[in-house]
Structure 1
Amino acid sequence: MSADNPATALHRIIKAVRFSGANSVANGWTNVLGSEVGTEDFALKHAEVVQLFRQVYNYLNSLPEGDEDRALYMKYTPIWYRAIVYPDSWNASTHPAEKVIDVQSLDQLGGLGRLLHRIAGESLDDDAVAKLRDSLRAWRELLDEAGLPTDIAERIRTQVDLIMWLLDNLETYGAEPVIRESRNLVGLGVEAMQAVPAKAKKIGIALASLVYVFGLLHQGVDEAAGVLEGLNQVKVQYAQLTGGSADEPATASREIESEDNDVLDAEVVEPGSELNP
C-alpha cells in the first residue's frame, strides 16, 4: 500500500534510515534509497525526499496563524529537515544513522501523516496504477512514431521515465509525486501539440489516456477538465497561426478540429482503444 500523503511518505523514509542499524548516516541513506551517496541516482532519489519535506512544510505554513495543528507541528520542521540534510559527517562511524532524528520528533511526523490521511490523502489504487502504466507505454510509442522536435521529445521521454520510476517506488515516495509529475507530463503534451499541430491527434490520444487515469482519482473531474481546456486552447492557437480565428478557423485548423473531436470527449475513452490511429 502506498503512502497517501507527503508526511506519511517522509515518515516512512526517515524512520527506515533511523532504524536501519547502519554505522553511518551515509550507509543508512544508501540502504534505504538503494543508491550510493554522491551518485547521480542518489541525487535524484534524495531530491524527491526533499520535495516531500517541502510539501509538508507548505501545508503547515498554509494553515492560519493560531491553528492548533500549525502550532503543534511547525516547531518540528527544522528537526525533520535536519534528518534529511544531516549537517554533520555522513561517513563517520561516530555518527550512526540513528543520530539523524530522535524518536519523539519522528513520532510527531507520523502523527501528522495520520492526520493528513484522514483529511487530505491522495491515493492510487491498483487499477489507476495499471492504467497509468498503460498510458506511459502509449507515450513511449508516441515518441517513436510522432516525429516530434528532438528537444521536446527528450523532455517528454525524461518525464515518462521519471513517472515510471516513481511508480516502481510508490511505497517509498507515495502517490503525490506520481500525480504531480503526471500533471507536468500533461503540460509537456500540450506544448508538443502547440509545436507540432499536425501531430495533434496522436498527442491528444496520449493525453486522453491521462485524463482517464485522473478520472480514477479523488480530483479526477478537475484534472480532466484542465486537460480538456488545454486541448481547446491549442486548437484556438492553431487556428490563429493558420490565418483563421477562434470563431472561424482556417481550413487546416478545421481538419485538426474534426480529427480531435474524439480526443475532446476523452473522459469516456479508455486508454489502449485508439493507440494506433
Structure 2
Amino acid sequence: MVQSTAAHHLHAILTRVRESGKGQYVQGWVSVLDAEMSSAEFCKRHAEVVNLLSLTIQQLHALPDRSRDRFMRYVPAWWNVVIQPKANWADNGRAAIQIADLDLLDHLESAADIILSNLAGSEGAPAGTDLSEMSRQCQEWVEILEMDGANIDDAIKSQLISQLRHVIWLVENVEIFGEARISGEASRAIGSLAQASAMVGEGDPERAGIWKRAFMSLVSVCAAFNRGAPVVRESIETGSALVGEIANVVQDIQS
C-alpha cells in the first residue's frame, strides 16, 4: 500500500528533523522544510505540518474504539514535538536529535499503519500515485476563473483561485506533505466549485457547459486518485446530481 496518510508524512518529517544532525531545533526544521526561519514560506510549510497533525487526530477518531483510545494518549506528546511551546528553538543546548524520542515516533508510525489499514482508498489514505492530471485540472480551473465572466462575486472567485493554487502547491510538495493533504484540499475545492457552479446562470448555456465539463473532470481525477482506480460512471452521475441539487437550492433562495 502507498503510505499516503497524514500520520505517515508527519512521522517522516519529524524523523528527518531528528536525524538532520543539526545543533538546534530550528536548524533541523529549516533543513527539512527547505525554507528560512521567520519567512512567510517557512510559516506556510510549518502550518502544513500542523495540518498533518490535525488530520491524524481526525483520522484516529475514525478507528475502532480500542485503537483510537490507545493512540489518542500520545496526541499531546506529538503536538509538543511539532510546536515545542516551552522550548527555545534556537537554543544551542537543544540539538535536533532531542526533538522526539524514537519510542514516540514509533508509536506515531504504528498509528499511521493502523489508519492506513482501516481507511485505505479513502480521502484520508488515498491509493493513487499519479498527481499530474490533478495539478493540470486545477490549473485549467484557475485559467477559467481568471478569464471567465460568470456572474459570481469577485471575492468568491478569488477564494476559489486561492484554493486551487494551494492544491497545485501541495502537489509540487507531495514528497514533504503527502497525498492525504492533497486529497483533502482537492475535495474542499470541489465543494466550493460545486456551490459556485450553481450560481452560473442557465441564461448562458455555453459558459454553464464549460463549467460543468471542467467540474466533472476534476471530480473524476479526485475520485480516481482516492481509489487508485479508474472512476466508474456512477461517480460522475453523483457529481452531476450534486450540482443540480445545489442549483435548485440557490434558485429557491433567489426566488
Please give the range of the TM-score, normalised by the shorter of the 2 chains: 0.7 to 0.9
Q: Structure 1: how far apart are the matches of 2:108 and 2:235?
A: 29
- Residue aligning to 2:145: 143
Distance 1:49 1:137, change over 3 A: same
* Aligned match for 2:214, one of 198, 202, 206: 206
Who wins on radius of gyration, i.e. which is larger?
Answer: 1
Alignment-mate amino acid for residue 228 of structure 1:
S
**Residue 212 (structure 1) shift:** 1.4
**Residue 235 (structure 1) shift:** 3.6
- TM-score, normalization: structure 1? 0.77
Q: How does 1:163-178 map to 2 (within 5 A)?
A: 163-178=167-182
Alignment-mate amino acid for residue 173 of structure 2:
N
Alignment-mate amino acid for residue 55 of structure 1:
L
2:227 matches 1:218 = yes
Distance 1:215 1:191, change over 3 A: closer
How many corresponding residue pairs? 240
Q: RMSD of the alignment, in Å?
A: 2.6
Distance 1:124 1:44, change over 3 A: farther
Alignment-mate amino acid for residue 227 of structure 2:
H
Q: Which runs of 5+ in 1 are unaligned?
A: 244-277
SS of the counterpart of 1:215? helix
Identity of aligned residues (%): 25
Q: Structure 2: how far apart are the matches of 1:184 and 1:116?
A: 21
Q: How does 1:2-17 map to 2 (within 5 A)?
A: 3-17=3-17
Q: Structure 2: how far apart are the matches of 1:32 and 1:182?
A: 25
Distance 1:55 1:144, change over 3 A: closer
Q: Structure 2: how far apart are the matches of 1:209 and 1:71?
A: 40
- Residue aligning to 1:229: 241
- Residue aligning to 1:111: 110
2:120 matches 1:125 = no
SS of the counterpart of 2:164? helix
**Residue 223 (structure 1) shift:** 6.3
Bigger mean CA deviation after superposition, 214-223 or 54-63: 214-223
Q: Structure 2: how far apart are the matches of 1:226 and 1:51?
A: 29
- Residue aligning to 2:82: 84
Q: Is the 8 A contact 1:2 1:174 kept in 2?
A: no
Q: Structure 2: how far apart are the matches of 1:173 and 1:240?
A: 41
Q: Structure 2: how far apart are the matches of 1:99 and 1:209?
A: 47
- Residue aligning to 1:58: 58
Q: Which runs of 5+ in 2 are unaligned?
A: none
- Residue aligning to 1:47: 47
**Residue 108 (structure 1) shift:** 1.2
SS of the counterpart of 1:89? coil
Q: Is the 8 A contact 1:25 1:96 kept in 2?
A: yes
**Residue 159 (structure 1) shift:** 0.9
SS of the counterpart of 2:142? helix
SS of the counterpart of 1:165? helix
Q: Is the 8 A contact 1:6 1:55 kept in 2?
A: yes
**Residue 98 (structure 1) shift:** 1.4
* Aligned match for 1:184, one of 179, 185, 188: 188
- Residue aligning to 2:21: 21
